[in-house]
């Protein structure tokens, strides 16, 4: 098939990858804006290279002229990777995907409870997704890979070794990779056991950042409305409470500042 035709075929897949990357990043943002822990840490996407599509199609015994069959058999032309901090988050993300109305699940592959012989661990979902193009709607297959940071680290290294050794990784390296995969499994287990504490610490940090940012924008607004002496007093009070690290005191201070800022605004409107 001509390269030009390939490009035309791949365009909707590119659109699907771009749209889904935005959508999953928005889920992360929604959690964070609501002051909640996000099960999604990072989202990436890619359209498979033409050479990889051809290689996979050949491996699956598909004629390279039979584009419909290639699209049906090579399920990961459009790939989205969702990275989570903890193994527990994977199930949450899978549930989110199962409930979406814009994704219709074709099949799920659980390489977490059933790792591959290589040691590869990840959760895969093949789903149908429709993109609107100038030629009308096109229903495509996309592959969603959901995995932890640690699983992603392992698979990235292993993938580049597969590439280096053209799929024939020497036995000794393969064994080491398998040992490393077990270590990654143990690491995820350890991280899960301290998950609640890590999440609490992250929530406190996020909450602190939100309160500080509100206080600073209030102080900035008050600069225009209140007198300098009062502002300096407020600022010093803020620095004192901030250095104490007491989040409750900081919250209380922030609320008082909100009231003060509102009063000044009301006064200035009344002028
Ligand atoms: P790339 O470069 O990531 O695009 P199947 O038809 O189910 O037998 P298929 O279609 O290969 O086999 O599906 P599978 O096994 O679910 O794998 C799809 C993708 O998962 C792969 O894409 C890899 O990204 C990843 N993957 C699967 N197994 C391994 C593994 O052992 N190591 C690593 N690092 N990644 C793996 P591609 O096509 O390999 O390429």
pLDDT tens column, 180-195: 999 999 999 999 999 8
pLDDT reported for residue 73: 92
Residue with the smallest CA separation from ligand 1 atom 36 is 120
270 pLDDT higher than 60: no
What is the CA(92)–ligand 1 centre distance, in A? Answer: 23
Instruction: Decide: 212 and 242 in contact? Cβ < 8 Å.
Output: yes
pTM metric for this prediction = 0.81
Nearest residue (by CA) to ligand 1, atom 28, is 120
- Is pLDDT above 60 for 61? yes
Q: Do 97 and 125 contact (CB within 8 A), yes or no?
A: yes
Average pLDDT over residues 9-19: 96
Is residue 166 very low, low, confident or very high in pLDDT (cuts 50, 70, 90)?
Answer: confident
Name every residue whose Cβ is closer than 8 Å to that of residue 241 and which is 6 or more positions away in sequence: 249, 250, 253
Atom nearest to 124 CA in ligand 1: 16
Percent of the chain at pLDDT exceeding 70: 96
CA of 266 relative to ligand 1 center, distance in Å: 62
* Burial letters 43-56, b for 16+ CB under 10 A, else e: bebebbeeeebbeb
Q: Is the pLDDT of residue 16 over 80?
A: yes
Please compute Rg for the chain using Cα positions.
Answer: 26
The tens digit of pLDDT for each residue in 130-144 reads 999 999 999 999 999
Which residue shows structure tokens 């100038």? 134
Picking from 144, 146, 138, the residue whose alpha carbon sits closest to that of residue 105 is: 144
Cβ–Cβ < 8 Å for 125, 143? yes
Out of 104, 143, 172, 262, the active site residue is 143
Q: Is 143 a catalytic residue?
A: yes
Task: Please state the atom number of ligand 1 nearest to the C-alpha of residue 109.
Answer: 16
**Ramachandran angles phi, psi of 55, nearest 5°:** -65, -45
Instruction: Please give the Cα distance from 45 to 62 (Å, whole number).
Output: 25
Q: Could you read off the pLDDT of 31-53 as tens digits, one per residue?
A: 988 878 899 999 999 999 999 99
CA 18 to the chain's CA centroid: 14
**Digit-coded pLDDT (tens) for 75-131:** 999 999 999 999 999 999 999 999 999 999 999 999 999 999 999 999 999 999 999
Task: Give residues with Cβ within 8 angstroms of 170, minimum separation 6.
Answer: none
Residue ranges of domains in the chain: 3-171, 197-270
- CB count in 10 Å sphere of residue 139: 11
* CATH 3.40.50.970 correct for 3-171: no
Instruction: Give the tens place of pLDDT for each residue, 200-218.
Output: 888 888 889 889 999 999 9
Q: Smallest Cα–Cα separation from 118: which of 189, 177, 41?
A: 177
């Amino acid at each position: 098939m001509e390269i030009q035709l390939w490009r035309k075929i791949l365009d909707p897949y590119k659109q699907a990858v771009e749209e889904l990357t935005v959508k999953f990043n928005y889920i992360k943002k929604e959690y964070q804006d609501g002051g909640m822990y996000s099960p999604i840490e990072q989202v990436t996407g890619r359209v498979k290279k033409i050479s990889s599509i051809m290689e996979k199609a050949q491996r699956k015994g598909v004629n390279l002229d039979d584009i419909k069959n290639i699209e049906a058999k090579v399920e990961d032309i459009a790939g989205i990777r969702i990275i989570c901090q903890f193994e527990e988050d994977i199930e949450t993300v899978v549930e989110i995907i199962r409930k979406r109305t814009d994704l219709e699940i074709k099949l799920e592959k659980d390489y977490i409870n059933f790792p591959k012989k290589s040691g590869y661990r990840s959760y895969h979902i093949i789903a149908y997704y429709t993109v609107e193009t100038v030629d009308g709607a096109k229903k495509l297959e996309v592959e969603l890979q959901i995995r932890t940071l640690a699983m992603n680290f392992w698979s990235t290294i292993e993938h580049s070794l597969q590439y280096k050794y053209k799929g024939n990784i020497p036995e000794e390296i393969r064994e080491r990779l398998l040992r490393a995969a077990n270590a990654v499994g143990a690491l995820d287990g350890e991280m899960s056991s301290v998950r609640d504490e890590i999440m609490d610490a992250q929530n406190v940090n996020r909450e602190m950042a939100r309160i500080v940012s509100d206080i600073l924008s209030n102080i900035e607004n008050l600069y225009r409305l209140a007198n300098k002496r009062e502002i300096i007093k407020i600022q010093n009070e803020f620095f004192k409470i901030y250095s104490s690290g007491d989040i409750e005191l900081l919250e209380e201070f922030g609320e008082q500042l909100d009231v003060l800022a509102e009063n000044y605004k009301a006064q200035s409107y009344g002028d």
